[in-house]
Structure 1
């Protein structure tokens, strides 16, 4: 139930704006229980061009939620989304560019955010400090330390904070993970996450005009306020380090989370090494489009993650088994489990014969809403702690990669030979090299970068070596857009 003073605040605001209430009977049929106006959760969605548009669609059609704010640094995008929400729910939400106006409004109950990555942590922390419950898209953070600050804020302010890794609510994924962890394919000491997703060049690096409808200062937020260097303003920030994390931190967190979940890992790794490059074209991007990361955990298990942004075939654990491009493969002593989508997967024996299929979807937003009402973060399918751990693995791989040096294939083989791992790293390297050659990449002219193996304290969540990796666990923040340090959220 919403407190009466919060109800009155919104009612007064709506009346002043001349917005009339719409009877519940006229609302579009939607998920969620029937709720009166006084019981609806008032929602604000921040960052609405891409995934945030889906957030708006879900929240506007539910009977127990109402979108009262749309927030985006791009006014053209924001006003367009307000039009869509008004048509869906019968009331027009208020548009603001500055999210702090949302947090100052006591009428807002929940905040969902799908901003660019560099804004995720601060958006969530500010919202929780203001007493809001939060749904935050992956990656929940832009660097390792930010995720832990989000967990601290959620616990300190007793807020519900859901990570947008919707696989955690999908029946097919849940069944597959339970199958893996039950021992039905024997002992599992290796999981492989895959992000084989074609990504084209984003165009030449240069100096470009920011769209006039964008408040670039607010859009940049915690990042430095620097000239725009990519042709397309929206979305392609994913491939620039100041704002994005490459595909290992974009699509990757979904599969990274499934792999970690299936292995039963509840801390960070103790070692990680990464190699790859931005290969096949030269453009304004500076994140890897080809990347391999090898993680070792204290219990002796290994997680491998592969990113391929050029044309490629799917990967199979056995010629007769299903393969995946965007998915996860678990390798057991008695068989394999292959997750081929968020909602589907299958188990195979060592000869590639089908054992069982897993299918079924779910409703991640419904899970979030129910946890908001129960006030129990344990009810969440993807509590912020889970999101932090999985996304931090992506960030650690990037730390290694960013510190790398270009090497020949022979030198890469030499370094991989010395790894103590459940993986067959030379076979993986050979597959990567073959893939690149098929795409016309000459590794003698444009060699890969090979990063140092990082030593990580999984309990303290710090890098212990090499020393030059430590600063990359955080960033220099531009005031006033500063993520608080440890213990100060």
Structure 2
């Protein structure tokens, strides 16, 4: 999609569905959609799909029946669709025969479900990060291209009006020459105290939830909302938040990937079941600039200007902060210089702009053009997160060759670009 088309589509979408009336035109629907992963976030995406007015919800799939039922109850307030219910994504795709699949599962399921859907002719709306290990992302992009299907990534910050205008400001040269970028998320929260394993919910298939990952004990501290802090299923804050900001950085630069990566993290101090870093620093060396990642769940940085999330672009003319709820702000050099600011335009209830991503998804399917948040962008941003975790695991820096999709001269590191799958599941190629 070229910039003119993107801005036009975004403007139309922004002016569109501001309220969400009860939708009654399922008979005129064009696309059959299945939601796989019916939790809070998957339900948010489905809300925007229904609001677009061109889908029929034919399936809800989740390993936990309670989540399906909660989602179905919400769906009943939006439309008259009567989707079938499934626990196994393979049965869902085989029997419901969707045209579109929303994949809002935990990260360790992203690759297998996305690839299965693409191989069965579905277009895929995929949550970020696109994968749990690096070569899974490579396999997803390969499947999307081989099947000539659209695979869009839910990088709604690529579409939010203040992110679009902020990127124009950054690329205008008004910030000057930028050689240092710092991306960060600093939220407090210790994740609760350690407790013994618990009985799993009677209506949940925990073995299927773990899937290709190691079968671990069930904890309510993992499901339904805290699985991102369990390494078997995700990569913590670096895997959760960082892809959004890395995508902004990669959108700004002409470079596709860092050359050298080094990560370090603190020892865990909280008594909980989390197995990901509480505080982590990562340095990414590009050809023309250095990027730093920082996150902490122990200190919100109260002395810091603006929000405790976002990316600082430090230029010779000042510092530009690409934020979220705070919009964007440019702090120019000089005592008497005037700060420039733009407020955000975010949709309720969650302060996101999913509707714009969904509009681009539909437009790309119609035109055959790659979306603004194509799977390739998702892979590049996710790779940065995964390479940071890889360096942290190894305890040393790594040299990355983006064109060869491998670490240079490091057999131990390259082995960790994949992982062993459990049971019947086969790592994608």
Q: TM-score range by the shorter chain?
A: 0.7 to 0.9
C-alpha distance in structure 1 between counterparts of 2:225 and 2:409, whole Å: 34
Structure 2 residue aligned with 1:304: 292
Does the 8 Å contact 1:278/1:286 carry over to 2? no
Query: Is 1:101 matched with 2:102?
Result: no
**Alignment partner for residue 81 of structure 1, among 71, 80, 84?**
71
> CA, structure 1 residues 256+278, in 2 after alignment: closer, same or farther (shift >3 Å)?
farther
Larger Rg: 1
- How big is the shift at 1:278? 4.8
Structure 2 residue aligned with 1:275: 264
Query: Is 1:177 matched with 2:161?
Result: no
**Alignment partner for residue 475 of structure 1, among 405, 413, 419?**
419
For each residue in 1:198-234, what CA deviation from the matched residue of structure 2 results, as whole angstroms up to 9, or x when unmatched? 2323431633322211111221111122333664532
For each residue in 1:223-259, what CA deviation from the matched residue of structure 2 results, as whole angstroms up to 9, or x when unmatched? 1223336645322221111101100111221112112
Structure 1 residue aligned with 2:331: 348
- How big is the shift at 1:97? 0.6
Structure 1 residue aligned with 2:232: 242
C-alpha distance in structure 2 between counterparts of 1:478 and 1:173, whole Å: 40
Report SS of the residue matched to 1:398.
helix
**Higher relative contact order, structure no. (Cα contacts within 8 Å, ≥ 6 residues apart):** 2
Q: Where do 1:152-171 residues align within 5 Å?
A: 152-171=142-161
Structure 1 residue aligned with 2:406: 462
C-alpha distance in structure 1 between counterparts of 2:361 and 2:318, whole Å: 35
TM-score normalised according to structure 2 size: 0.87
- How big is the shift at 1:148? 1.2
C-alpha distance in structure 2 between counterparts of 1:84 and 1:44, whole Å: 15
For each residue in 1:427-451, what CA deviation from the matched residue of structure 2 results, as whole angstroms up to 9, or x when unmatched? xxxxxxxxxxxxxxxxxxxxxxxx2
- How big is the shift at 1:480? 3.0
Structure 1 residue aligned with 2:384: 393
Where in structure 2 are there 5+ consecutive unaligned residues?
Answer: 1-18, 346-352
TM-score normalised according to structure 1 size: 0.77
Report SS of the residue matched to 1:307.
strand
Does the 8 Å contact 1:272/1:294 carry over to 2? yes
For each residue in 1:159-202, what CA deviation from the matched residue of structure 2 results, as whole angstroms up to 9, or x when unmatched? 11111110001121111122212221111121111111223234
For each residue in 1:392-443, what CA deviation from the matched residue of structure 2 results, as whole angstroms up to 9, or x when unmatched? 100111111122xxxxxxxxxxxxxxxxxxxxxxxxxxxxxxxxxxxxxxxx
C-alpha distance in structure 2 between counterparts of 1:285 and 1:342, whole Å: 28
Query: Is 1:484 matched with 2:406?
Result: no
C-alpha distance in structure 1 between counterparts of 2:164 and 2:220, whole Å: 39
Report SS of the residue matched to 2:408.
strand
- How big is the shift at 1:284? 1.0
> CA, structure 1 residues 314+155, in 2 after alignment: closer, same or farther (shift >3 Å)?
farther
- How big is the shift at 1:154? 0.8
Deviates more, 1:271-280 or 1:121-130: 271-280
CA RMSD in angstroms, aligned pairs only: 2.3
For each residue in 1:257-305, what CA deviation from the matched residue of structure 2 results, as whole angstroms up to 9, or x when unmatched? 1122223322x211100111353313211100100000012x2321111
C-alpha distance in structure 2 between counterparts of 1:474 and 1:315, whole Å: 40
Does the 8 Å contact 1:208/1:231 carry over to 2? no
**Alignment partner for residue 205 of structure 2, among 197, 210, 215?**
215
Structure 1 residue aligned with 2:12: none
**Alignment partner for residue 372 of structure 1, among 343, 347, 365?**
365
Q: Matched residue pairs, number?
A: 401
Report SS of the residue matched to 2:77.
helix
- How big is the shift at 1:350? 1.9
Report SS of the residue matched to 2:27.
coil
Structure 2 residue aligned with 1:199: 189
Where in structure 1 are there 5+ consecutive unaligned residues?
Answer: 1-26, 317-321, 404-450
C-alpha distance in structure 2 between counterparts of 1:173 and 1:30, whole Å: 31
C-alpha distance in structure 2 between counterparts of 1:232 and 1:211, whole Å: 13
Deviates more, 1:42-51 or 1:209-218: 209-218
C-alpha distance in structure 2 between counterparts of 1:222 and 1:484, whole Å: 11
Report SS of the residue matched to 1:88.
coil
Query: Is 1:52 matched with 2:42?
Result: yes
Does the 8 Å contact 1:314/1:324 carry over to 2? no
Query: Is 1:331 matched with 2:324?
Result: no
> CA, structure 1 residues 325+479, in 2 after alignment: closer, same or farther (shift >3 Å)?
same
Does the 8 Å contact 1:42/1:109 carry over to 2? yes
